[in-house]
Structure 1
Amino acid sequence: MTNNFDEIFRFIKIIFVVLVLFVTIHLSLNYSQPKNSEVLLKMLQYVYMSVLVFLIVSEILRVQIVRAKLLNEEWWPIVSDQGKIIGSIQHLTSLSDKNKYIHPVVRVMIIDKGMILLQKRTVNNIVDSGMWDTSISNHVKTGENIEQCVDRTSKEHYSLEGFKYMHLSNYTLEVSNEFQYVFLFVSCQLIDLTPNLKFIDQAKWWTQQQIEENLQSGIFPENFKIEYDLLKRSGLLETGKCECSCRLKETIYNQARNN
């Protein structure tokens, strides 16, 4: 909103300056050349109207170009400590700002027979590049809800459509450039995955023993350590299935009742 007011004020100042110049020249001509002032004033009016039209057209074109550029940029919602949206910001601006904002993030842990599917992040990734992390992870974009973000990310990263997942927990974590308000989900479907190498360097199934042996080696981000602990305490890794008898569903049911 502030940027909109700044743009309007800037345009008004330009028009005001042009108007002041027109009035000044108009008075000068009347004073210095009263005999020829009528012809000169008509010429001045044509020039003034031409300049005014040019300014209006150029401003409209400039605004359209800026809007088109903004539409191509990725914006992230800013949320409160409780996860309520209170604003939005261009994502590169947020990551370079000295103030750390809280952004909503979705993460989905995919498990099968006691194993967890992990992705190795590409070296070009903004966050935790080159590390082994939860298989589906992404920032929510401005204008989309949590489910849409999960569906978009699963399709982009693994060509998955319509796969099922359940809510496990929410938590907030401070990372290098931001605070993340994480919506954590889990999926335990048997599915064929095709990693998109544009977003993921590789995907690999890890056993609990392999994870435990490397948990303090520095190859996992802090997010995954938190989520691995939550997953172990849920009991889902023990059962290896998403059924009503699973302790995970009991946990989710109890959370819903308490909320």
Structure 2
Amino acid sequence: MDIRKGLNNQAVGLLPLLLLMFLNNFYTYLVSFVIAGVFCVVSCFTFWGLFRGRKYQFMLLPTALTLILYSLFLFLRLEPVLYLHSPLIAEWLLVAVLSVIGFSKRPIIGRVRKSNRPALKRAPLRTALNEFFFVAQIAQNIYTLHLFILLFYMILPENYQHIWVERLLYREAPLFIGLGIIVYEQIRVSMMKHGLAEEKWLPVLDKKGKVIGRIAYSVSLTSQARHYCHPVVRIAVVYDGMLYLVKRGSVQPVSPEALDHPFYGYVLFKQTFEQTVRELLGNSLTKGEAKPHLLVRYPFENERVTQLVSLYVLTLHSEEAFVNYVKTAEGKLWTPRQIEENLQQGLFSEYFEKEYAYLQHTVLLAEQYTAKREQPVEVSAETEPVTVSPTR
């Protein structure tokens, strides 16, 4: 679910209208309109035909509507008005169109959010729409401010008015405003893409655990993204039949400051579970010791997160290896009896409360059985040895 695919400079869609304003300085309004109209049609065909589904350019829509409304002045035969105020009329029509489009933001975004499109295609589309409405609002505000400035200038006494100021306000300012918006948006989009390139990405899973997209790690922490399912790896450390538990961080979204396994983390995009396990353990893996093995994989969901949890178990038998693994953690070993006495008391994390039953009836039970087998059999001194007579 790469939102970078929806990060395009939406302000580029203003170019056909800016071309009309520019050509008005050299050609008649009719020639300028024809050239700008052809350029707009070619642009629409390029983005909505050739690049459909890959690149989105929604600003061409209000630009096309503005040119259509502009053409009405041609049929109304308002040549004197168009001859003097062609750029101003185009600007006024653009502000009117953007004002109407602004009211449609919420229903359009809501319809896309609830659509049956795959999440992989829906996220870039929503990103492009949000960028479009953002640019449209900026263009509407700046051009509206320019129209108010122009109106204020018109009511000034004649001795305060100058020809070069009129030319600047009537013909050049709208063009400079549009170009300024395009440059600003290009810088902004480039900065956003650069920031996202350094962002960590999490895979998004469907109900079957299949990767259907990706999302930025920072975005996944927001409440709006809690319905996205991400894979998580957790590693339980077992030593001498006991579980090693540490306190979770205070900023953890699930069970902050509760007791939990020492190793846990998200599986990043294009990363395997085994790679995540190795990263979590770091350089602690030693030769001769048992490697972590997968115990259970289960879905986890609460009011904050939706995850597919993979629980791995690392069973250690030597004190040296145990100290090597937990040297950077501050925790302690818990016996099964101590854990059972404190379950459902809010002491352990939500994850651990769900996982302990699996640990109790598999790994811990096997450790107890192994410990009993290794205990030496004590022979009482009062017991007489049994003599077996040879069979005749």
More strand as a share of residues: 1
Match among 175, 181, 189 for residue 308 of structure 2: 181
Residue in 2 that maps onto 1:74: 200
Contact 2:297 2:311 in 1 (8 A): yes
1:144-159 equivalences in 2 (<5 Å): 144-155=271-282
Separation (CA, whole Å) in 2 of partners of 1:112 and 1:70: 42
Contact 2:8 2:189 in 1 (8 A): no
Flag the 1:8–1:106 CA change in 2: closer, same or farther, 3 A. same
Flag the 1:6–1:184 CA change in 2: closer, same or farther, 3 A. closer
* Shift in Å, 1:8: 3.3
More helix as a share of residues: 2
Separation (CA, whole Å) in 2 of partners of 1:8 and 1:71: 15
Residue in 2 that maps onto 1:251: none
Q: Deviations over 1:181-217 (max 9, x none)?
A: 1111111024222454xxx6x3221111111111121
Residue in 1 that maps onto 2:242: 115
- Determine which structure has more spread, i.e. the larger CA radius of gyration: 2
Contact 2:9 2:189 in 1 (8 A): no
Flag the 1:153–1:26 CA change in 2: closer, same or farther, 3 A. farther
1:1-259 equivalences in 2 (<5 Å): 3=3, 6-8=6-8, 10-27=10-27, 61-95=187-221, 96-97=223-224, 100-155=227-282, 160-161=284-285, 164-189=291-316, 190=318, 191=321, 192-194=324-326, 196=328, 202-234=330-362, 236-240=363-367
Contact 1:113 1:237 in 2 (8 A): no
Separation (CA, whole Å) in 1 of partners of 2:331 and 2:253: 18
Separation (CA, whole Å) in 1 of partners of 2:28 and 2:233: 67
Q: Give the secondary structure class of the aligned counterpart of 1:103.
A: strand
Separation (CA, whole Å) in 2 of partners of 1:230 and 1:11: 56
* Shift in Å, 1:144: 1.4
Q: Deviations over 1:143-174 (max 9, x none)?
A: 2111111112222xxx5246721111111111
* Shift in Å, 1:127: 2.7
Flag the 1:57–1:223 CA change in 2: closer, same or farther, 3 A. same
Contact 1:195 1:203 in 2 (8 A): no
Q: Give the secondary structure class of the aligned counterpart of 1:216.
A: coil
Structure 2-normalised TM-score? 0.49
Separation (CA, whole Å) in 2 of partners of 1:27 and 1:148: 65
Q: Give the secondary structure class of the aligned counterpart of 1:193.
A: helix
Flag the 1:111–1:99 CA change in 2: closer, same or farther, 3 A. closer
Separation (CA, whole Å) in 2 of partners of 1:64 and 1:11: 13
Give aligned pairs, total: 220
Flag the 1:217–1:89 CA change in 2: closer, same or farther, 3 A. same
Which of 1 and 2 has higher RCO (CA within 8 Å, sep 6+)?
1
Q: Deviations over 1:106-151 (max 9, x none)?
A: 0111101110011211212233210101221111112211111111
Separation (CA, whole Å) in 2 of partners of 1:188 and 1:153: 16
Point out the more displaced range, 5-14 or 214-223. 5-14
Separation (CA, whole Å) in 2 of partners of 1:149 and 1:181: 14
Separation (CA, whole Å) in 2 of partners of 1:132 and 1:24: 72
Separation (CA, whole Å) in 1 of partners of 2:200 and 2:216: 6
Alpha carbon RMSD of aligned pairs, Å? 3.4
Separation (CA, whole Å) in 2 of partners of 1:179 and 1:101: 6
Separation (CA, whole Å) in 2 of partners of 1:183 and 1:65: 36
Separation (CA, whole Å) in 1 of partners of 2:24 and 2:13: 16
Separation (CA, whole Å) in 2 of partners of 1:141 and 1:63: 25
Separation (CA, whole Å) in 2 of partners of 1:2 and 1:90: 8
Q: Deviations over 1:210-253 (max 9, x none)?
A: 1111112101122112211101121x213339x9xxxxxxxxxx
Q: Give the secondary structure class of the aligned counterpart of 1:218.
A: coil
Percent identity of paired positions between Structure 1 and Structure 2: 30
* Shift in Å, 1:6: 4.5
Separation (CA, whole Å) in 1 of partners of 2:314 and 2:240: 12
Unmatched runs of 5 consecutive residues or more in structure 2: 33-82, 85-170, 371-392
Flag the 1:232–1:4 CA change in 2: closer, same or farther, 3 A. closer
